[in-house]
């Protein structure tokens, strides 16, 4: 049972905007920064958004993040076929003294 909650799937057609949500609590998202990781099959996770809305160099500006209260969102605009994979949210939890991850959302490009 994950501490953070994500819908198992999301989908869109090429060029569309897809939004993935992550719900937590005051001890994690409500108090700390949210990071989003993309994981392609057979590879390690890779950060696409850190500190709620910061995009590391090399990540396309199609990816954006936001946070409000105890929820966060990752948006992918101009959806492309290479965006089809799993996305995980993560945050530090002050009660557990640990990083926690969501169960992941599979994005499908129709």
Q: Which is nearer to another protein, 2 or 71 (CB)?
A: 2
Q: Which is nearer to another protein, 83 or 93 (CB)?
A: 93
Q: Does 100 bind another protein (CB under 8 A)?
A: yes
Cβ proximity to another protein: between 34 and 79 the closer is 34
Q: Smallest distance from the beta carbon of 47 to another protein, in angstroms?
A: 5
- How far is it, in rounded angstroms, from Cα 31 to Cα 86? 25
> How far is C-alpha 16 from the geometric centre of its chain's CA atoms?
17
Pairwise CA distance, residues 36 & 55, whole Å: 10
- Phi and psi at residue 82, to the nearest 5°: -75, -5
CA dist 47 and 58 (Å) reads: 11
**Among residues 63 and 101, whose Cβ is nearest to another protein?**
101
Residue 90 binds to another protein (criterion: CB under 8 A): yes
Q: CA nearest 46: which of 25, 63, 32, 33? A: 63
Give how many residues touch another protein by CB under 8 A.
25
Residues 41-60 that bind another protein (CB under 8 A): 44-47, 50-51, 54, 56
Among 74, 76, 102, 109, binds another protein (CB under 8 A): 102
């Amino acid at each position: 049972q994950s501490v953070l909650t994500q819908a198992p799937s999301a989908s869109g057609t090429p060029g569309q905007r897809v939004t993935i949500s992550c719900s937590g609590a005051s001890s994690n998202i409500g108090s700390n920064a949210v990071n989003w990781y993309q994981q392609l099959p057979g590879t390690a996770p890779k950060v696409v958004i850190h500190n709620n809305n910061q995009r590391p160099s090399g990540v396309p500006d199609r990816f954006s993040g936001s946070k409000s209260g105890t929820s966060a969102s990752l948006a992918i605009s101009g959806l492309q076929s290479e965006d089809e994979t799993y996305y995980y949210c993560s945050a530090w939890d002050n009660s557990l003294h640990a990083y926690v991850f969501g169960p992941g959302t599979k994005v499908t490009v129709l």
